[in-house]
A and B are shown apart, each in its own frame.
Chain A
Amino acid sequence: MGTAKSEKVEHLNEKISIKAVRNVRRGQETEGNQEIYRPGVKVCLERNSLLTESYKMTEGEPTVIRQAKALEHVLLNMTIYIRDWEKIVGNYASSPDAVFWPIEQNWKSVHRLLHGDEGKALVDDAGRKELDRIVEYWGGKTVSDIRKRAFAGSPDLEKYWVYEGTMLWSQWSDQGVPNYEKVLAIGLNGIIREAEEKLKELGKRLPFDYIQQKDFCEAVIIVLQASIKWAERYAVKAEEIAKEEKDMERRKEIEEVARICRKVPANPASTFREALQSFILVHLIGHQIEFITLGCGIRFDMIMEPFFQKDIADGTITRAEAVELIKHTRIHLEELGQMYSPTTTQVYGGVQVLQSLVIGGVDSEGRDVTGETSYMLLDSVLELQTLQPSIVLRVHDGTPKELILKAIDVIKTGVGYPSLQNDKTLIPLMMKWNCPLEDARNYTISGCVYLDVAGKNILRRNATYFSLPRCLWWALHQGVNPKNGEQYGAPTQDPAGFESIDDVMDAYLEQVRFFMDKQVRVENVTRSIYAEQYPRPFESALTDGCIECGQDLRKWRYQGRVESFSIAVGPTNVADSMAAIKKIVFDEKRVSMKKLIEILEKNWEGNEDLRQIMLAAPKFGNDDDYVDMIAYDVHRRTEEVVEQFSDTYGSDFHLDGSAVSATYGLSLDTPATPDGRKDGDGFADGSLSPTPGMDVNGPTAVLKSCSKIDTLTTYNHLLNQKFTPQFLEGANREVFYNYIKSWADLGISHVQFNVVDRETLIEAQKNPEKQKNLIIRVAGYSAYFIDLSKGLQDHIIERTEQAFR
């Protein structure tokens, strides 16, 4: 039986089309000479062509209506396909191996890429011609064109928007988790009725913004009706296939697909399979076709459990059949693809489109949500390992031990998830950030460690990847770039006059403040452009409150103010650097501040002994209060500076630990740092991971150090740990469970595990073709090892491996 199963798995595995982007850029330099995607991946222009066609026809109409009609035009005319093995259907591009990008957002970098060497193979000559034709229409009209026009009036905006090494503005991170529960409960038809009611009410009440609200509600109805028709197109397609199908089993299968697509997402789902199908279709429209963005965050078990239980009670499904359907659902999330710009590949090396399914934790009344579907989702990963979606397990005191043990079995495969999130600290953190108790308990993770609440208009937005070690570097140079003499950062105090570590900290924080000010201006101006130019009527319809207030989700905000953040890149290096300065420069006076900076500028050359001395200073991750308390100060005080800034809705900015591969990418542009790091060496990953190789007291000491970085007075963190597989096997499985319990008790917000032998990685680097499916955890996400550049591979190999002794 085992053989039969594995053959079937192999079968599904072979079908999946991998569209992970490869990091071709690191900092401002090209990395390696690999292509940006695996061979065979293409750029599909169909959506953008159809969208353009529609936009040409709707000149002069209100923006939200134009966007709705464009989406309608795409949904009614795009290629749809059903592959001969699919049980859950849905596609976003004309073929399974295609990626796309939204032309209404930007075109220049893609245009450059597709006409240049890195991306030449992604499209054929006819495609290139088509691209040029579309671009002709969009030139001057896209969000990025308008931003450029806006920035042209301000030297500050223009200067600080461009990546220089300190801040990488984040184009893609614009999420939000729709109210899937509502779609499954009342169907899109139910939501259309709400919009129609609202229109009637508006007609009677006639508010001052009647026309804007009316346009919005009409746009909602257009896109929802188009979505229903899109699903019906799959039904028609399935019926055609069924007619020709000779295999009776498959014919029954495909007839069921047809029946379901006629029913959902238009109507409420009543079976487990209908619920999964409805979810996938809605997700494809909202997060891919209407507006391409990473993130998912459905609380899978909480939402799917009742459907499964009903089917089981009715005797219409077996557990094994349901697990199979979950696999098919996951494949759709695995196959999402998007076109990244070469610059953003340094942040998203190895990423397709980050997705997450959340299990466990409490519901809004504080009850544990674990059900059979929680276990089934994990079982489906044991049978079929994919990169996406990542699984997030929310842990609280009432999480069943069996669920954590099952999670350990999945972690042991090396797939890099489930990652663990701690209810004990994250619920209070959400409340501290003004989220009401019920919603805080219902928090979800949409990608990496992004906090979200399903259905609420939070729209988690990352402004920038913010290199904190570079802020420290600016502090050591009074904000002047020694290479060109330009005053780029804040003109802080001359470091030769620093008398204590407090002076260093003050100058560093002043740099953080300076760059926050710049990035918040860039972000807020850009956001207002998005709000005007790029409405999301579909996603709005599925977001609580938009129809009630007659406004697109980009124009108003839910009260829980947790939506704006900057990603903290490299805080551990800042902490280790501060500790080394405190000990060696100020406590022991072994080198002067001035001399140290000179040596750093020469990248330690000729001063290896001093580098060794700085390396030997206390390092974060060893349960050593000397540095851990400094680290806490760095996290807390940086967050306090960041919180002083507000977004366009008056909400505070925060930090966030989701550094993806930016700790590697951005580090190239930060010269040597006082912690002993050399020019261009990678930063410690996540926000809590120790610097690779510097945590010498084992994994318990790492957790102890991390527990001193209080989440409530800082932010939501990311911690990566690497273990060898033996550590989770046999009797050690129980010990690992106890280790996880201790992690939860210590109140650390997050942890995830990379379980792999160093030897396996080195072997995979040498013989990539033999390790095609080797998945490893990079930072907040997993990647196929072979899709990473040599540099990033080395960076991962270098991380401390927590072996047991």
Chain B
Amino acid sequence: MKNVEPQEINVVSSKDPENNHKGLVFNIQKFSLHDGPGIRTTVFMKGCSLACRWCSNPESMNRYREIMIYDVRCIGCKKCVEACPIGAIVFTERGREIDWDRCDNCLECARVCPSKAIECTGDYMTIDEVVKKVEDDRIFYENSNGGMTVSGGEALVQSKFVRELLKKCREKGIHTALDTTGNAPWQDIESVLEYVDLVLMDIKHMDTEMHKKGTSVENELILGNARKIAKRVRIWIRIPLIPDYNDSEANIIRVAKFASDIAAEKVSVLPYHDLGSSKYPKLGRVYPMEGTTPPTEEAVERVRKTIESFGLEVEIGR
């Protein structure tokens, strides 16, 4: 099993040879309802500068293409075994097994698999390719005041690409939102802000030590960026509500106060769920939050009331 390290900002991975003018995208989610107003298309950029333990999109972390496996789809044709140049795939009585420590993501197995039981996650796309997909749903944006949201991973790991993408959408009259962790150099954030209509920003913890425990980075840069962003663009704050981590009354009050200070338009509470846990083994990883139960409805309601007491609009996400 492999460990995942947060990506250094804007460092091109050695496994990333075709980065010229292309962005590494791991999903373009149409009909997205929780990443800003209306019906949206969310473009998920691959690679993250954080490594949150509860991450429900573990395939978003690495800044390179990698394989994901789906055992139920395997038809047992063994084409992957033949294709693997280092012999890291074998068939046993338990079915196909992958030696994850040896796998170097050459992607040959995904290329030959006929049934998508091994898929490559991450796709290098040009701005025009992404924009075309975004434009497909223009009529839905117009009817619902929706638009495009760029998310991640951390979208700003690929800030040059993201800037061009936002600019192109702005030119085409499509509403733009940036969903960011805020963990990026200010100049990268500033470079995209002029093309962003709305920023969605996570605050995971107000205590920097705790922040580091949960996400592997400290929070000073993030909070500072949030203040600066709020002066320039509309901002919504999002709190992933993680039991026994950031759900204490004290922390919630600090977040709400912060949101209120920077005049955030809205606070979204995203209660922890484990829907992403099944993706970890598909990537050859271990889910770090195994056994954690989602917060109760009562707990979520308490959080809502606490935040509302600061005069903030609260939305409970899913």
Distance in angstroms between the alpha carbons of A608 and B116 in the assembled complex: 13
- Would B33 and A732 count as touching, CB distance under 8 A? yes
- Would B39 and A616 count as touching, CB distance under 8 A? no
B114, B144, B315: the one contacting A613 at CB < 8 Å is: B114
Known: A609-B79, A738-B39, A739-B39. A804 touches B33 (CB 8 A): yes
Tell me the A738-752 residues at the B interface (CB within 8 Å). 738-739, 741-742, 745-746
Distance in angstroms between the alpha carbons of A615 and B114 in the assembled complex: 9
Tell me the B129-147 residues at the A interface (CB within 8 Å). 136-137, 139-140, 143-144, 146
Interface locus among A190-198, A451-459, A698-706: A698-706
A608, A699, A805: the one contacting B29 at CB < 8 Å is: A805
Distance in angstroms between the alpha carbons of A697 and B133 in the assembled complex: 11
- Would A745 and B143 count as touching, CB distance under 8 A? yes
- Would B33 and A735 count as touching, CB distance under 8 A? yes
* Whole-angstrom distance between the Cβ of B59 and the nearest chain A Cβ: 15
Interface: A612 (CB within 8 A): yes
- Would A612 and B31 count as touching, CB distance under 8 A? no
A609, A697, A701, A742: the one contacting B115 at CB < 8 Å is: A609
**Count of interface residues, chain A, beta-carbon cutoff 8 Å:** 27
Distance in angstroms between the alpha carbons of A554 and B32 in the assembled complex: 53
- Would A742 and B30 count as touching, CB distance under 8 A? no
- Would B143 and A742 count as touching, CB distance under 8 A? yes
- Would B30 and A612 count as touching, CB distance under 8 A? no
- Would A738 and B30 count as touching, CB distance under 8 A? no
Distance in angstroms between the alpha carbons of A319 and B299 in the assembled complex: 42
Known: A738-B38, A738-B143, A745-B143. A700 touches B137 (CB 8 A): yes
Interface: B250 (CB within 8 A): no
Interface: B34 (CB within 8 A): yes
Distance in angstroms between the alpha carbons of A805 and B79 in the assembled complex: 34
Interface: B90 (CB within 8 A): no
* Whole-angstrom distance between the Cβ of A231 and the nearest chain B Cβ: 49
Interface: B77 (CB within 8 A): yes
Tell me the B279-318 residues at the A interface (CB within 8 Å). 315, 318
Q: Which residues of B contact A742 (CB under 8 A)?
A: 39, 139-140, 143-144
B29, B75, B136, B315: the one contacting A704 at CB < 8 Å is: B136
- Would A612 and B115 count as touching, CB distance under 8 A? yes
Q: Which residues of A contact B144 (CB under 8 A)?
A: 735, 738-739, 742
A609, A616, A623, A746: the one contacting B75 at CB < 8 Å is: A609
Q: Which residues of B contact A609 (CB under 8 A)?
A: 75, 77, 79, 114-115
- Would B115 and A746 count as touching, CB distance under 8 A? no
- Would A704 and B116 count as touching, CB distance under 8 A? no
Distance in angstroms between the alpha carbons of A700 and B143 in the assembled complex: 12
Q: Which residues of A contact B137 (CB under 8 A)?
A: 700-701, 704
B30, B116, B140, B143: the one contacting A697 at CB < 8 Å is: B30
Interface string of A513-551 (1 = CB under 8 A from B): 000000000000000000000000000000000000000
- Would A616 and B31 count as touching, CB distance under 8 A? no
Most buried by A among B31, B115, B143: B31
B112's nearest neighbour on chain A, judged by CB, is A609
Interface string of A787-805 (1 = CB under 8 A from B): 0000000000000001011
A610, A701, A726, A732: the one contacting B30 at CB < 8 Å is: A701
* Whole-angstrom distance between the Cβ of A801 and the nearest chain B Cβ: 13
B139's nearest neighbour on chain A, judged by CB, is A742
- Would A735 and B39 count as touching, CB distance under 8 A? yes
The 6 closest A-B pairs by CB, nearest first: A738-B144, A612-B115, A698-B31, A612-B114, A609-B114, A738-B143
- Would B140 and A616 count as touching, CB distance under 8 A? no
Q: Which residues of B contact A804 (CB under 8 A)?
A: 31, 33-34, 318
B31, B77, B315: the one contacting A700 at CB < 8 Å is: B31
| Sample (29) of A-B pairs whose CB atoms are under 8 Å apart | A608-B77, A609-B77, A609-B79, A609-B115, A612-B115, A615-B115, A616-B114, A623-B136, A698-B29, A699-B31, A700-B30, A700-B140, A701-B136, A704-B137, A726-B318, A735-B39, A735-B144, A738-B39, A738-B146, A739-B39, A742-B139, A742-B140, A742-B144, A745-B139, A746-B139, A804-B33, A804-B34, A805-B33, A805-B34
Task: Apart from A701-B137, A745-B143, A805-B33, list 11 A-B contacts with CB within 8 A.
Answer: A612-B114, A698-B30, A698-B31, A700-B30, A704-B137, A732-B33, A738-B146, A739-B39, A739-B144, A742-B144, A746-B139
* Whole-angstrom distance between the Cβ of A283 and the nearest chain B Cβ: 38
Most buried by B among A612, A739, A741, A746: A612
A704's nearest neighbour on chain B, judged by CB, is B136
**Count of interface residues, chain B, beta-carbon cutoff 8 Å:** 23
Q: Which residues of B contact A746 (CB under 8 A)?
A: 139
Distance in angstroms between the alpha carbons of A417 and B145 in the assembled complex: 27
- Would A739 and B140 count as touching, CB distance under 8 A? yes
* Whole-angstrom distance between the Cβ of B58 and the nearest chain A Cβ: 16
* Whole-angstrom distance between the Cβ of B177 and the nearest chain A Cβ: 16
Interface string of B19-45 (1 = CB under 8 A from A): 000000000011111100011000000
* Whole-angstrom distance between the Cβ of A599 and the nearest chain B Cβ: 13
Q: Which residues of B contact A735 (CB under 8 A)?
A: 33, 38-39, 144
Distance in angstroms between the alpha carbons of A791 and B29 in the assembled complex: 33
Interface string of A718-758 (1 = CB under 8 A from B): 00000000100001100100110110011000000000000
* Whole-angstrom distance between the Cβ of B220 and the nearest chain A Cβ: 32
Interface string of A592-623 (1 = CB under 8 A from B): 00000000000000001110110110000001
Distance in angstroms between the alpha carbons of A47 and B144 in the assembled complex: 55
Distance in angstroms between the alpha carbons of A746 and B137 in the assembled complex: 11
A612, A731, A741: the one contacting B143 at CB < 8 Å is: A741
Q: Which residues of A contact B140 (CB under 8 A)?
A: 700, 738-739, 742
Q: Which residues of A contact B143 (CB under 8 A)?
A: 738-739, 741-742, 745
A804's nearest neighbour on chain B, judged by CB, is B33
Interface string of A476-495 (1 = CB under 8 A from B): 00000000000000000000
Q: Which residues of B contact A697 (CB under 8 A)?
A: 30
Q: Which residues of A contact B139 (CB under 8 A)?
A: 742, 745-746
Distance in angstroms between the alpha carbons of A474 and B39 in the assembled complex: 44
Distance in angstroms between the alpha carbons of A47 and B32 in the assembled complex: 57
Q: Which residues of A contact B75 (CB under 8 A)?
A: 608-609, 612
Distance in angstroms between the alpha carbons of A609 and B146 in the assembled complex: 41
* Whole-angstrom distance between the Cβ of B137 and the nearest chain A Cβ: 5
* Whole-angstrom distance between the Cβ of A805 and the nearest chain B Cβ: 7
Distance in angstroms between the alpha carbons of A734 and B157 in the assembled complex: 34
B28's nearest neighbour on chain A, judged by CB, is A697
* Whole-angstrom distance between the Cβ of B279 and the nearest chain A Cβ: 14
- Would A805 and B136 count as touching, CB distance under 8 A? no
Distance in angstroms between the alpha carbons of A473 and B137 in the assembled complex: 35
Interface string of B145-174 (1 = CB under 8 A from A): 010000000000000000000000000000
Distance in angstroms between the alpha carbons of A62 and B318 in the assembled complex: 71
A734's nearest neighbour on chain B, judged by CB, is B144
A745's nearest neighbour on chain B, judged by CB, is B139
Distance in angstroms between the alpha carbons of A615 and B75 in the assembled complex: 13
Distance in angstroms between the alpha carbons of A615 and B116 in the assembled complex: 10
B113's nearest neighbour on chain A, judged by CB, is A612
Tell me the A683-720 residues at the B interface (CB within 8 Å). 697-701, 704
Q: Which residues of A contact B77 (CB under 8 A)?
A: 608-609
Q: Which residues of B contact A802 (CB under 8 A)?
A: 31
Q: Which residues of A contact B29 (CB under 8 A)?
A: 698, 805
Q: Which residues of B contact A741 (CB under 8 A)?
A: 143
Distance in angstroms between the alpha carbons of A610 and B34 in the assembled complex: 39
Distance in angstroms between the alpha carbons of A701 and B32 in the assembled complex: 12
Distance in angstroms between the alpha carbons of A726 and B34 in the assembled complex: 13
Q: Which residues of B contact A701 (CB under 8 A)?
A: 30-31, 136-137
Q: Which residues of B contact A704 (CB under 8 A)?
A: 136-137
* Whole-angstrom distance between the Cβ of B185 and the nearest chain A Cβ: 31
Most buried by B among A608, A697, A700, A726: A700
Distance in angstroms between the alpha carbons of A731 and B318 in the assembled complex: 12
Distance in angstroms between the alpha carbons of A610 and B115 in the assembled complex: 9
* Whole-angstrom distance between the Cβ of B217 and the nearest chain A Cβ: 26
* Whole-angstrom distance between the Cβ of A412 and the nearest chain B Cβ: 16
Q: Which residues of B contact A608 (CB under 8 A)?
A: 75, 77, 115
